[in-house]
Structure formats: structure tokens, C-alpha cells
Amino acid sequence: MLILFPLLAFSVIPEEAHADVESYTVDILESDVLAIYIYPITDGVSVNSGSLDRGGPVDISITLNYTIVPEYRQVTAIWTRPRASGTYNLTISFQFNSGWEYTIGVFTRDIDFYGKNVKFSGNFGEFFSFERSPGNWTISITLNSRRQTQSIFYFELPTPVNAALFLTITGLIVYSNVFLVFDTYFKNKKEAVSNRRWALCALVIIISAIAIYQLYTFSTITLSWGK
């Protein structure tokens, strides 16, 4: 069961805005994906990010012409996911000669963390949307990535598609390991097998265990970055 401290309550706090600059503070869970959609599309967007407290790196993906389903609306999409808890800064700059609008939201697997004030469609929750006038604009976001507190018995299941891939690849890895061990065992009964062969078996098993764990981690945190 996922356990969250009361202090990790969701908050989106608009700060004092200046001309052509809008600043926000946003709280998300660690490994959740912050999404910014800008409409209409623009090819002059500039994105900068960094940690404010020596946190981990930030994954950023930008698609200049992205189609939101089911609306089939073409937007410029920016997704960012901190790899560790901490405080990060995200700055997005661009220019429009006509009116434009933007949406800021989050992809998550823990909808309850964000409360009832966030409207969710699937695993995407919309924080807010605004329409703005032409000009040179900058959106500055202070992003607080909150660590999930889990019980010792917590086990997160992958999505059905990821689970199928995980089980298939894990099955192949386990089969290869079992074959290697049994092949070495029966060869050892016929003739003495060197210690190097047994050490190789142990090394392969350890590497396989690490690979399965990394595969499980990947399968549980990978989200569909589409609405």
C-alpha cells in the first residue's frame, strides 16, 4: 500500500507575475511527468532546466508538433520528469504574434495524491489552462518533486502491455539461466567441471538478477505521454 505523509499534499501556487512572464510552483510525485502543452504550435520554443538543491538530473522531451488524442489538437508539447526528489527550475520561452494558450498537467499513477481539484482523464491530470495575448513570453516553473513513502510490502504492478513485455523477457532470461545451471550440473556428473565454469554461472545469475530488476523498474515507471 502506498503511504503518503500529510505534508506531501498537492499544491500549485501561482506567484506574482510580471509583464510577459508567468511563474508557478508545482508539486508532483517523484517519477511523475509534468506536461506543458502550447497551442498553436511554435517552432521557436526554448527550454532550460536545472536543480535548485543538487537533486538528480531531469529528463526533458520536446515535440514541436504533437497531436493530443482524442481531440486531435496539434500542440507543442514539453514533458519533464525529475529522476529524484528535490526542487527544480523549468523555464520555457517563446514568441507569438497572435493569441495563444497553454495547459499544464501531470501524468501519474497516484491520482489520490493530487486531490479532487485536479481533473483527470486516464492518468493525465490538468492543473490549469490559460489564454494569453501576443508577445514574448516566459513560463517559469519551480518544480518540487516529492518522494513516495512506501511500506516494506509495497509492490507496484506494471501496465498490462509493460507486464507482457516484462514477463516475456524475464522468462527468456530465467530459461537461459536454468539451462546453463543444469547443463553445468550434468556435465559435472560426467566429468569434473572447473571452478571457472561455476564462477561463470554465478556471475551470469547475478547479472541476470540485476537486469530483471532494472527491467521491472522501467516497466513500472514508463508512462504513456499522451492524453
Task: Indicate which CATH number applies to the domain containing 133.
Answer: 2.60.40
Does one domain contain both 195 and 114?
no
Does one domain contain both 129 and 212?
no
Q: What is the pLDDT of residues 22-65, one digit of tens each?
A: 999 999 988 889 999 999 998 889 998 888 877 677 888 899 99
Residues shown for the chain:
227
Does one domain contain both 128 and 60?
yes
Does one domain contain both 143 and 177?
no
First-to-last CA distance in the chain? 27
The residue segments making up the domain with residue 178 are: 160-221
Does one domain contain both 168 and 134?
no
Is this structure's pTM higher than 0.85?
no
- Residue 17 above 60 pLDDT? no
Identify whether 190 is part of a domain: yes
Q: What is the pLDDT of residues 69-88, one digit of tens each?
A: 767 889 999 999 888 888 99
Asked which of 12-16, 111-115, 208-212 is least confident by mean pLDDT, the reply is: 12-16
Identify whether 1 is part of a domain: no
Which distant-in-sequence residues (6+ apart) come within 8 Å of 224 by Cβ? 107, 123
User: Which residue, 120, 149, 178, sits at the end of a domain?
Assistant: 149
Characterize 80-107 residue by residue with b for buried, 16 or more Cβ atoms within 10 angstroms of its Cβ, and e for exposed. bbbeebbebebebbbebeeebebbbbbb
Does one domain contain both 133 and 169?
no
Helix (H) or strand (E) holding 135: strand 135-146
SS3 133: coil
- Per-residue CA distances from 220 to 32, 141, 161 (Å): 11, 26, 11
DSSP structural state of residue 18: B
